[in-house]
A and B are shown apart, each in its own frame.
Chain A
Amino acid sequence: MRLKSFLKSTILVSACVVAASSALAQDKPVLTVYTYNSFTSEWGPGPALEKAFEANCACDLTWVALEDGAALLARLKLEGRNTKADVVLGLDTNLTTEAKTTGLIAPHGADVSALKLPIAWDDADFVPYDWGYFAFVYDSEKLKDPPKSLDELIDGKDAPKVIIQDPRTSTPGLGLVMWLREVYGDKAPEAWAGLKPKILTVTKGWSEAYGLFTQGEAPMVLSYTTSPAYHQIVENSDRYKALVFPEGNYMQVEVAARVEGSAQPDLAKSFLQFLISPEAQKVIPTTNYMYPVRDIGADLPPQFSALPQPEKSLLLSPEDAAAHRDAWTKEWIESVSQ
């Protein structure tokens, strides 16, 4: 019977495939890095970094790609002491305090003296590998007169529609909550109330928001100051521009760390050192579209240097961020649900 033989051959083939893949012998030490999936995709920094690191380490770098930073931390917590991870890469400063409380983070032991960030870096456990400013990005073809300040966006009657992300499911969304809190302090709920009529929709993640924005649903979206660099470099288009506000823009710093109890502590240390080396850092701008953490001189594309820089760089300390995240998210829900 056709079905019988079809079934038989499929089972046979699948069995062979599974057997073959597990039979591949590994004799090099394996460094397992947990990160998020846009990092390891073929358009992200992952492949280039892996190639450069493996060229010198005599090891096998394996990525485990999770959905995003929060998923990363959650998986680490789930696995606890039994985690296979040697390095976690992809948390941001909002999550670092919580990560430390798991007891799974080991001191990085890397030399961070050559780092150049708008803020001083004094964390002994986490190493930054890229950073950026959150910003409202607008479509210059649709919006001829964009708001020049945060106040103008929030209070302006004719302010354009904007797409933002949900702080409960997305790091830019959370970043905006922190941003408004830094600027307006306890008056943040009023600020949100003022912003609410301009919000077209609140999406699950950055991809949905940016997709809707480029589809033309709204003239503004919450993204990064470095987003226009992509369009300039790859699409040769000046259409999308980022707004820097006199009140300041909020930062996002992405970090990596060694995992306590990993089987490859030395390899992990050298990976972190590699991550902040010029060789690795020059991969970052055109793959992750964020700023590198050190001065890479001519390797930084000119479009990046030409990007608008805010006068004030806002960033809550990791402890403050962790302490207030819950309360401020609830406040956000209340203000925007009216």
Chain B
Amino acid sequence: MRALGRIATPRAAGLSVAVLTGYGLAAVLGGLAITVFALLLAAGDDAQSPPPYAYICRVLGFTLWQAFLSTLLSLLAAILMTRALARQAQFPGRMLLLRLCALPMVMPTIVGIFGVVAVYGGSGYLALVADAVGIDWQPRLYGLAGILIAHVFFNLPLAIRLLLPAFASVPAESWRLAAQLGMGSRDIFRIIEIPLLRQQLPGISIIIFMLCFTTFAVALTLGGGPRATTLEVAIYQALRFDFDLRLGAMLAILQVIFCAGGAWAVWRAGRQMVLGNTARLVAYRYDGRASRARLVDFSVIIFGAIFLTLPILALVQRGLAGMVAAASPASLLSAALVSLGLGLAGGLTATLIGYLIAQARQRALLQGRKRGAMLLGLAGRLGLFVSPMVIGTGIFLAATGSVDLYRIAAAGVILLSAVMALPFVLGVLEPALEVAAARHDRLCAALGLTGWNRFCHIDWPTLRRPIATALALSSVIAMGDLGAIALFGNQDMVNLTLLLYGQLGAYRLDGAASTALILLALALAFYWTIERVVGGRELH
């Protein structure tokens, strides 16, 4: 339990290939971002009108406010749910619930919006129930409430997914001590759980904040009107309708400043991890046995499960109803294969890049270079806070004349979706690597175990499950991706999401619902398969 001091590593084994590559990749990402911004700023016309400062300030204010509230609500809900799930480690359906948590992260935004509306909208489940019971109540979804509900729906599962493994890092002896000393649940919360949350929440809150800050379709469609304009909408307007590249770049830089700045502040305030070393990963919780604890926990779990699964059920219902108007099996099959292929390729790329960057960051932390570690973490998360429209515009601006981007569309889509999925990979791998490092660094240094040998024999068994989760997560995110594939416009590469949008644009809304259902089912199966195959026995 001694704080990890600096390890004197022999010079020859100083910088492993992995770490060097990690640094290199981070540098490439950072360099690309800077190039993109530079190109856009330079490309502007001098005849463009001055930026509408008042408008931008209002937009920025709203963006910050809804992102802050969404993050707060998501984290509160996540803390409640994760505590309950960690305490009740075994009940029928627990595995299914955790697996379903992968879905909101996968589904295209428009599908999620339809799901939320189908539950909370004026003609949704809640309204139907109110009607049936006789209450005269109309849900007022379109406004800030709608945005918050949708954001929590999309982000709560991610937060649970990232937070739950942290509870496993508490040594089994701590729970025995708690039982032995007669700690009540409030005491356990104060003495064991709060320090744990203090470690994990910063990283999780950053991801969620950035996701909510860069929101686009949710704000517009559920926001109710132009008062709910976010920064991303303003960027879209600048780059597409006004073709004011300079303004678009400036707004995107503003976005980066807020996201990166927020991340920096949160990381600086974060605490260094205090770790346990138990080999057994599912520690038995004695405090979960009492009937009062059970009541509270299951109430929370059931409420949370209902919140998360209702929209999914609505989508399933609509999807099944829409099966009669589904696309042809041939189109569906080919789109599914494209989705799976591009998804897996994107996921593998993202996981590989993420692992290398996380290793480089771990090394920086080891050498006490906190700032370097933070920069590496930021470089990896670029896909999250640099607007994808800006990236797309920048890519085409840079490539024009020299590279035929349409020819290398497949590679382009894979790389771009990997960059988008990278922050999630890091969210899973960074804490996992910290645990592995604390466990193995000294021993490996003593034995002279480095590089590939160390990975194969020492790190892989410990990191196998987090890597599986990271791979599964990034693969399904890449699979459901629209941004990257729509950027290149190659008609030979149509994935399920593009197929879905094609149906939506051609009045075939029920057909689209069935495609969405197929996409979700495929994603779930894909996720589970990867986690099982790569991760081995599931341990949550």
A82 and chain B: residue at smallest CB distance: B401
A298 CB, min distance to chain B CBs, angstroms: 24
Extra inter-chain contacts (12) besides given A211-B504, A215-B117, CB under 8 Å: A10-B344, A44-B502, A62-B491, A67-B486, A166-B226, A169-B237, A201-B224, A207-B504, A208-B110, A211-B110, A214-B509, A227-B507
- Are A63's CB and B217's CB within 8 A? no
Cα-based distance from A7 to B504 in the complex (angstroms): 37
- Are B401's CB and A207's CB within 8 A? no
- Are A207's CB and B110's CB within 8 A? yes
Which one of A3, A66, A70 contacts B486 once the chains associate, using CB atoms below 8 Å? A66
7 shortest A-B CB distances, which residue pairs? A41-B502, A38-B505, A216-B123, A43-B506, A82-B401, A207-B504, A201-B142
> Which B residues between 442 and 491 are near A, CB-CB below 8 angstroms?
456, 460, 486, 489-491
> Quick one: given A65-B489, A169-B237, A208-B217, are A336 and B226 in contact (CB under 8 Å)?
yes
**24 A-B interface contacts by CB (under 8 A):** A7-B348, A10-B344, A18-B410, A18-B411, A41-B501, A41-B503, A42-B331, A43-B502, A63-B491, A64-B406, A64-B489, A71-B240, A82-B401, A166-B220, A169-B237, A196-B225, A201-B142, A201-B223, A204-B216, A208-B217, A212-B221, A215-B114, A215-B118, A337-B227
- Are B393's CB and A66's CB within 8 A? no
Question: CB-defined interface of A194-223 with B at 8 Å, one 1/0 digit per residue?
Answer: 001001111110111011101111100000
- Are A289's CB and B507's CB within 8 A? yes
Q: Which residues of chain B are near A43, meaning CB under 8 Å?
A: 502-503, 506, 508
A146 CB, min distance to chain B CBs, angstroms: 18
- Are A74's CB and B243's CB within 8 A? yes
Cα-based distance from A67 to B236 in the complex (angstroms): 12
Which of A79, A196, A201 has the most C-beta atoms of chain B within 10 angstroms of its own C-beta?
A201
Q: Which residues of chain B are near A215, meaning CB under 8 Å?
A: 114, 117-118, 121, 123
- Are A37's CB and B407's CB within 8 A? no
> Residue A148 at the B interface, CB < 8 A?
no
B239 and chain A: residue at smallest CB distance: A74
Instruction: Report the interface size for chain B: residues with CB under 8 A from the other chain.
Output: 65
Q: Which residues of chain B are near A333, meaning CB under 8 Å?
A: 55, 226, 229
Residues of chain B whose beta carbon lies under 8 Å from any beta carbon of chain A: 55, 110, 113-114, 117-118, 121-123, 142, 216-217, 220-227, 229, 233, 236-237, 239-243, 327-328, 331, 341, 344-345, 348, 393, 396-397, 400-401, 404, 406-407, 410-411, 456, 460, 486, 489-491, 498-499, 501-509, 512, 534
B505 CB, min distance to chain A CBs, angstroms: 3
Cα-based distance from A199 to B223 in the complex (angstroms): 12
A35 CB, min distance to chain B CBs, angstroms: 9
A6 CB, min distance to chain B CBs, angstroms: 8
> Quick one: given A64-B490, A212-B117, A216-B123, are A203 and B507 in contact (CB under 8 Å)?
no
Q: Which residues of chain A are near B216, meaning CB under 8 Å?
A: 204
Q: Which residues of chain B are near A230, meaning CB under 8 Å?
A: 507
Which one of A166, A199, A206, A214 contacts B505 once the chains associate, using CB atoms below 8 Å? A206
Cα-based distance from A200 to B121 in the complex (angstroms): 11
A270 CB, min distance to chain B CBs, angstroms: 21
A216 CB, min distance to chain B CBs, angstroms: 4
Instruction: Report the interface size for chain A: residues with CB under 8 A from the other chain.
Output: 69
> Residue A306 at the B interface, CB < 8 A?
no
Q: Which residues of chain B are near A225, meaning CB under 8 Å?
A: none
- Are B224's CB and A37's CB within 8 A? no
Q: Which residues of chain B are near A73, meaning CB under 8 Å?
A: 243
Q: Which residues of chain B are near A63, meaning CB under 8 Å?
A: 489, 491
B239 CB, min distance to chain A CBs, angstroms: 7
Q: Which residues of chain A are near B55, meaning CB under 8 Å?
A: 333
Which one of A14, A22, A77 contacts B345 once the chains associate, using CB atoms below 8 Å? A14
Cα-based distance from A75 to B143 in the complex (angstroms): 33
- Are A80's CB and B217's CB within 8 A? no
A91 CB, min distance to chain B CBs, angstroms: 13
Which of B237, B491, B503, B512 has the most C-beta atoms of chain A within 10 angstroms of its own C-beta?
B491
> Which A residues between 315 and 329 are near B, CB-CB below 8 angstroms?
326
B481 CB, min distance to chain A CBs, angstroms: 14
B237 and chain A: residue at smallest CB distance: A168
Cα-based distance from A111 to B400 in the complex (angstroms): 34
A88 CB, min distance to chain B CBs, angstroms: 13
Q: Which residues of chain B are near A84, meaning CB under 8 Å?
A: 404, 406
B532 CB, min distance to chain A CBs, angstroms: 12
- Are A37's CB and B502's CB within 8 A? yes
Q: Which residues of chain B are near A38, meaning CB under 8 Å?
A: 501-502, 505-506
> Residue A78 at the B interface, CB < 8 A?
yes
Cα-based distance from A40 to B498 in the complex (angstroms): 11
Q: Which residues of chain B are near A98, meaning CB under 8 Å?
A: 243
> Quick one: given A166-B226, A169-B236, A201-B224, are A37 and B501 in contact (CB under 8 Å)?
yes
A201 and chain B: residue at smallest CB distance: B142
Q: Which residues of chain B are near A119, meaning CB under 8 Å?
A: none
